[in-house]
């Protein structure tokens, strides 16, 4: 664990440049930009929380905070490494305390706090009084704080991270966190905000595109109004739809006088014939600005983002905007090394970028719970379709547990129904047999809240999956976790069930092929994973009745199911650091070569045991590969089209002599040389590399970026067989989210850490990596004040 991660209170304040007064007073709650123009997310409650283990009285207003440590959100309650997580380290109750100051004027306003995700249960106290509690770690909740007083206030959150809670996916009557396949460390691990909201406010806007493929397309608006003062005059609710900064259409409704309470207002905006449709290749989004006015006075405004697309699962496959699209994708768990789930928006967004831009996925399954909204926003922006599902894994709990399923369906659908990327709701607990009655309820609820999307739920191959749809069910897509191909057997998929929409929601994982796929495993094992992924997608592409296939899985993740392997599941096509394994090369090779021409050998050019196997694979989207040793042409790679007849870009095979020479592969599209890759067999030129994903961050205490530390050959290719220890030191105003020593023999030549600037003044963070024998590499990241204009070097 990094030395910066558990700073003492004093060290933290010094390092972050903040004074004690700031820590005690904490955040000053921002008012609205003026009455009637509130920003509901006025202040991120990120920095200066005081944190510690629960003890009696810890939520009281006058609790002695001396032994608490300052922390920033998002936060995980325990230090973690990249593997070997111990649930006992987070299975407890914890206290977070946040001081904030409210001006006399604002004390009379409507103040509320919002928590995007607290694992697992939360009890929120204001100035020592319990004001709200929430169960479940994956969905947001809001707390109105009418009791705020002018001056210092204290918000205390008791976080319960124990497995015993009767909340999905936990199963309290079963042995403990290792009975499900992913660990869930506790904490306030997603953003939290506090701010004033108008007395009459829009609590929700659902903007649902209708008749999308017709020029008469429209937007159906369902707006939830909530007022704490009676409104005597009629209210005007208006909506303006714009795309790329240009207004396309407007609509409005009038609501009669409103008593204290809530009201649902529905109306339609037509005239949207000019809208550009949202598509995976062209994810054109629209902004819908909804305002509530009383006469000339604007009481509230909310902007939601939507996309016009028609997504249809049919018995003959999946269609987007009337065009057949074979869904090509992976499952994603949200867990990261060192931080559990507590990674900020930028890091969440990066996962979507990896899936869409680097692995060419058209769809991701958020297995097995609702994931961060930053991740979903990026799916909208990049054209990555999403399956989202309620928390759960393998079994269902008691009646109270199943009631929570219903609350989760409701909270998930309401939170996310404006995302065009989401095309199906998983309203069934993953692979649980459960009762038909329960699925009818959850499916029906999702349909009520969002009539525009089908519901489904992944069925298991191993737990008596019922392949028949229950009569009268609302479940519309038959989703199957297809592990038909068990270890040792030739790879196959179950035939699609005729007459129903059919999607493969999992396949391969560690149930076919090998038990683990690590960079430290033999080349043949890593290659087998790549071949299985290619085969699975080839089979899914062979038959139009498969809507597509979402393989298991994108990234390695910590799991109690694999205690023999240090509590990690090595099923990812990329490792837990998001560093690609050879199986990722298959996905990388399935994109258009005009966008990115890819040549990736499926073998390491390191002359290790069994090297090089005859017919070794090269993954590529080129038409032809010419192979050279020491710049002498040794052959043309053979296409493996016959083995993968349905892949867009089948791999190639080469037979190479074990000459310790430099390998060069030239890739051609038609007659044009589009890419040259070189691989060095000479380890004498290997170097240590240390590369950040971003060179500029915000100094808001939450922002962070990954730095990949690896051994590479002289041409930049990862040397997976490299070993040695790398020690890391960070200078500058920030913390190292990661181990200070990386053991490359254990991680396979590469690993990563994350840099997280402190909230406070800008500065420069310099990470120095020292390898036993390969010397030093450094990387530098600039932390800028939030709101400062980034330079072009920063990824958006
Ligand atoms: C599936 C399950 C996944 C994962 C996989 C094994 O049955 O749905 O969550 O555990 O097996 O790799």
Backbone angles phi and psi of 13, in degrees to 5: -65, -40
Please give the distance, rounded to the nearest whole angstrom, from the Cα atom of residue 528 to the centre of ligand 1: 19
DSSP at 276: P
User: Range with the lowest mean pLDDT among 163-167, 347-351, 561-565, 566-570?
Assistant: 561-565
Q: How many other β-carbons are positioned within 10 Å of the β-carbon of residue 754?
A: 25
**Hey, what CATH topology would domain 9-30+47-190 get?**
Jelly Rolls (2.60.120)
d(CA 183, CA 561): 9
Q: Give the per-residue pLDDT at 793.
A: 38
Q: Give the per-residue pLDDT at 115.
A: 95
Asked if 77 and 342 count as a contact pair (C-beta separation under 8 A), the reply is no
Please give the distance, rounded to the nearest whole angstrom, from the Cα atom of residue 499 to the centre of ligand 1: 27
Provide the pLDDT confidence category of residue 498 given band limits of 50, 70 and 90. confident
Please give the distance, rounded to the nearest whole angstrom, from the Cα atom of residue 553 to the centre of ligand 1: 9
Query: Crossing angle for the helix pair 399-416 and 373-382, nearest 10 degrees?
Result: 40
Two tokens, residue 614: 């005859």
Q: Give the per-residue pLDDT at 39.
A: 42
- CATH H-level superfamily of 311-572: Glycosidases (3.20.20.80)
> Looking at residues 345-360, what average pLDDT do you find?
98
Alpha-helical segments (H) within 596-680? none
Q: What is the CA radius of gyration of the chain?
A: 27
pLDDT of 11 over the 70 cut: no
Q: Give the per-residue pLDDT at 789.
A: 56
One-character DSSP codes across 519-568: TTS-HHHHHHHHHHHHHHHHHHHH-TTEEEEEEB-SB-EE-GGGGGGTTE
d(CA 347, CA 755): 11
Two tokens, residue 491: 């790879």
Please give the distance, rounded to the nearest whole angstrom, from the Cα atom of residue 568 to the centre of ligand 1: 13
Burial class of 282 by CB neighbour count within 10 A (0 to 12, 13 to 18, 19+):
exposed
d(CA 705, CA 345): 10
pLDDT of 434 over the 50 cut: yes
Average pLDDT over the chain, rounded to an integer: 90
d(CA 458, CA 369): 12
Run of H or E residues at 653: strand 652-654
Q: Which residue has its alpha carbon closest to ligand 1 atom 10?
A: 181
pLDDT digits (tens, 9 = 90+) for 147-181: 999 999 999 999 999 998 889 999 988 888 988 99
- CATH H-level superfamily of 606-679: Immunoglobulins (2.60.40.10)
Return the higher-pLDDT residue of 512 and 599.
599
Can the peptide bond before residue 277 be classed as cis, meaning omega within 30 degrees of 0?
Answer: no
Please give the distance, rounded to the nearest whole angstrom, from the Cα atom of residue 481 to the centre of ligand 1: 8
Please give the distance, rounded to the nearest whole angstrom, from the Cα atom of residue 533 to the centre of ligand 1: 16
**Hey, what CATH topology would domain 684-784 get?**
Immunoglobulin-like (2.60.40)
Please give the distance, rounded to the nearest whole angstrom, from the Cα atom of residue 559 to the centre of ligand 1: 11
Closest CA to 628 of 600, 656, 601: 656
pLDDT of 547 over the 70 cut: yes
> Looking at residues 572-594, what average pLDDT do you find?
98
Atom of ligand 1 nearest to the CA of 431: 8
User: Range with the lowest mean pLDDT among 102-106, 366-370, 712-716?
Assistant: 102-106
Please give the distance, rounded to the nearest whole angstrom, from the Cα atom of residue 548 to the centre of ligand 1: 18
Please give the distance, rounded to the nearest whole angstrom, from the Cα atom of residue 320 to the centre of ligand 1: 28
> Looking at residues 204-227, what average pLDDT do you find?
97
pLDDT digits (tens, 9 = 90+) for 246-264: 999 999 999 989 999 999 9
Shared fold status for 9-30+47-190 and 200-211+213-306: no
Q: Give the per-residue pLDDT at 318.
A: 98
Q: Give the per-residue pLDDT at 195.
A: 85
Give the angle subtended at the CA of 490 by the CAs of 484 and 496, to the nearest 5°: 40
Provide the pLDDT confidence category of residue 23 given band limits of 50, 70 and 90. very low
Atom of ligand 1 nearest to the CA of 569: 12
Run of H or E residues at 729: strand 725-731
Residues 6 or more apart from 159 whose CB is under 8 A from it? 77, 93, 94, 95, 96, 118, 119, 120, 121, 122, 186, 187, 188
Mutate to test the pocket of ligand 1, among 369, 461, 481, 556 (most ligand atoms within 8 A of CB): 481
Give percent of the chain with pLDDT exceeding 70. 90
The full length of the chain comes to 796
Backbone angles phi and psi of 399, in degrees to 5: -60, -40
Atom of ligand 1 nearest to the CA of 462: 7
Provide the pLDDT confidence category of residue 614 given band limits of 50, 70 and 90. confident
Q: Which residue has its alpha carbon closest to ligand 1 atom 5?
A: 509
Can the peptide bond before residue 523 be classed as cis, meaning omega within 30 degrees of 0?
Answer: no
Atom of ligand 1 nearest to the CA of 510: 12
Residue with tokens 């208006």: 238
Give the per-residue SS3 of 68-119.
Answer: CEEECCCCCCCCCCCCCCCHHHCCCEEEEEEEEEECHHHHCCEEEEEECCEE
Mutate to test the pocket of ligand 1, among 506, 529, 554 (most ligand atoms within 8 A of CB): 506
Q: Which residue has its alpha carbon closest to ligand 1 atom 11?
A: 509
Asked if 713 and 719 count as a contact pair (C-beta separation under 8 A), the reply is yes
Please give the distance, rounded to the nearest whole angstrom, from the Cα atom of residue 181 to the centre of ligand 1: 7
Please give the distance, rounded to the nearest whole angstrom, from the Cα atom of residue 389 to the centre of ligand 1: 14
Residues 6 or more apart from 614 whose CB is under 8 A from it? 655
Please give the distance, rounded to the nearest whole angstrom, from the Cα atom of residue 791 to the centre of ligand 1: 42
Atom of ligand 1 nearest to the CA of 509: 12
pLDDT of 20 over the 80 cut: no
Backbone angles phi and psi of 345, in degrees to 5: -50, -45
Q: Give the per-residue pLDDT at 43.
A: 62
Q: Which residue has its alpha carbon closest to ligand 1 atom 3?
A: 181
Q: Give the per-residue pLDDT at 433.
A: 76
Ligand 1 pocket, Cβ-based, cut-off 6 angstroms = 181, 367, 430-431, 460, 481, 506, 509-511, 552, 571
Mutate to test the pocket of ligand 1, among 369, 509, 573 (most ligand atoms within 8 A of CB): 509
pLDDT of 24 over the 60 cut: no
Atom of ligand 1 nearest to the CA of 552: 12
pLDDT of 8 over the 50 cut: no
The domain spans of the chain are: 9-30+47-190, 200-211+213-306, 311-572, 606-679, 684-784
pLDDT digits (tens, 9 = 90+) for 457-476: 998 853 444 544 555 566 68
Which CATH number is 200-211+213-306's, of 3.50.50.60, 2.60.40.10, 3.40.920.10, 1.20.1740.10? 2.60.40.10
**Measured on CA atoms in the order 399, 401, 407, 409, is the torsion positive or negative?**
negative
d(CA 630, CA 661): 5
Q: Give the per-residue pLDDT at 464.
A: 41
Backbone angles phi and psi of 390, in degrees to 5: -70, 155
């Amino acid at each position: 664990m990094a030395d910066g991660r558990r700073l003492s209170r004093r060290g933290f304040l010094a390092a972050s440049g903040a004074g004690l007064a700031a820590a005690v007073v904490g955040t000053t709650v921002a008012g609205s930009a003026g009455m009637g123009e509130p920003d509901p997310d006025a202040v991120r409650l990120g920095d200066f929380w005081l944190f510690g283990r629960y003890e009696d009285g810890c939520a009281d207003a006058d609790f002695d905070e001396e032994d608490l440590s300052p922390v920033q959100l998002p936060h995980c309650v325990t230090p973690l490494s990249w593997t070997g997580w111990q649930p006992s380290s987070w299975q407890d109750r914890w206290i977070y305390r946040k001081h904030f100051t409210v001006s006399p004027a604002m004390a009379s306003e409507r103040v509320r706090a919002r928590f995007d995700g607290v694992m697992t249960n939360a009890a929120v106290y204001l100035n020592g009084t319990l004001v709200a509690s929430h169960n479940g770690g994956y969905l947001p909740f809001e707390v109105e704080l009418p009791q705020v007083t002018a001056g210092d206030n204290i918000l205390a959150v008791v976080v319960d991270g124990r497995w015993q809670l009767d909340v999905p996916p936990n199963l309290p009557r079963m042995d403990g966190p290792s009975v499900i396949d992913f660990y869930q460390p506790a904490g306030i691990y997603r953003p939290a905000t506090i701010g004033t909201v108008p007395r009459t406010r829009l609590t929700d806007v659902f903007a649902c595109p209708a008749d999308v493929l017709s020029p008469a397309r429209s937007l159906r608006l369902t707006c939830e109004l909530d007022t704490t003062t009676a409104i005597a005059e009629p209210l005007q609710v208006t909506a303006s739809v714009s795309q790329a900064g240009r207004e396309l259409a407007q609509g409005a409704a009038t609501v009669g006088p409103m008593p204290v309470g809530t009201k649902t207002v529905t109306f339609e905006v037509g005239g949207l014939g000019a809208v550009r449709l949202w598509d995976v290749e062209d994810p054109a989004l629209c902004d819908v600005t909804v305002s509530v006015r009383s006469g000339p006075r604007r009481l509230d405004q909310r902007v939601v983002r939507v996309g016009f697309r028609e997504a249809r699962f049919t018995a003959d496959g999946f269609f987007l905007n009337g065009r057949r699209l074979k869904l090509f994708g992976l499952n994603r768990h949200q867990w990261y090394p060192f931080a559990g789930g507590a990674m900020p928006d930028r890091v969440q967004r990066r996962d979507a970028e990896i899936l869409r831009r680097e692995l060419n996925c058209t769809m991701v399954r958020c297995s097995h719970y609702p994931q961060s909204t930053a991740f979903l926003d990026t799916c909208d922006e990049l054209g990555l379709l999403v399956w989202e599902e309620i928390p759960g894994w393998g079994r269902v709990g008691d009646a109270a547990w199943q009631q929570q399923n219903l609350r989760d369906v409701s909270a998930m659908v309401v939170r996310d129904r404006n995302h065009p990327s989401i095309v199906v709701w998983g309203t069934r607990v993953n692979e649980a047999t459960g009762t038909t009655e329960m699925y009818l309820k959850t499916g029906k609820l999702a349909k009520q809240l969002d009539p525009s999307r089908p519901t489904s739920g992944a069925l298991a191959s191993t737990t008596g999956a019922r392949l028949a749809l229950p009569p009268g069910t609302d479940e519309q897509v038959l989703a199957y976790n297809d592990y038909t191909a068990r270890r040792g057997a030739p790879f196959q998929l179950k035939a699609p069930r005729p007459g129903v929409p059919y999607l493969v929601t999992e396949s391969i994982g560690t149930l076919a092929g090998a038990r683990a796929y690590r960079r430290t495993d033999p080349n043949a094992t890593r290659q087998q994973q790549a071949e299985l992924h290619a085969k699975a997608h080839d089979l899914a592409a062979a038959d139009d009745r498969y809507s597509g296939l979402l393989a298991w899985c994108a990234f390695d993740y910590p799991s109690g199911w694999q205690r023999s392997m240090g509590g990690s599941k090595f099923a990812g096509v990329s490792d837990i650091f998001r560093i690609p394994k050879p199986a990722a090369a298959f996905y990388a090779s399935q994109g258009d070569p005009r966008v990115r021409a890819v040549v990736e050998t499926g073998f390491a050019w390191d002359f290790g045991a069994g090297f090089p196997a005859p017919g070794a694979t090269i993954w590529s989207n080129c038409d032809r590969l010419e192979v050279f040793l020491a710049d002498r042409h040794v052959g043309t790679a053979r296409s493996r089209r016959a083995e993968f007849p349905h892949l867009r870009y089948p791999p190639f095979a080469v037979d190479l002599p074990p000459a310790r020479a430099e390998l060069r592969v030239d890739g051609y599209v038609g007659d044009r040389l589009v890419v040259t890759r070189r691989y060095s067999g000479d380890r004498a030129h290997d170097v240590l590399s240390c590369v950040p994903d971003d060179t500029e961050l915000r100094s808001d205490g939450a922002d962070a970026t990954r730095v990949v530390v690896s051994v590479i050959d002289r041409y930049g290719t990862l040397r997976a067989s490299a070993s040695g220890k790398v020690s890391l030191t960070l200078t500058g105003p920030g913390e190292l989210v990661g181990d200070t020593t990386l053991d490359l023999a254990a991680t396979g030549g590469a690993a990563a850490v994350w840099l997280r600037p402190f909230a406070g003044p800008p500065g420069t963070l310099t990470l120095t990596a020292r390898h036993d024998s390969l010397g030093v590499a450094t990387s530098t990241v600039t932390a800028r004040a939030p709101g400062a204009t980034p330079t072009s070097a920063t990824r958006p």
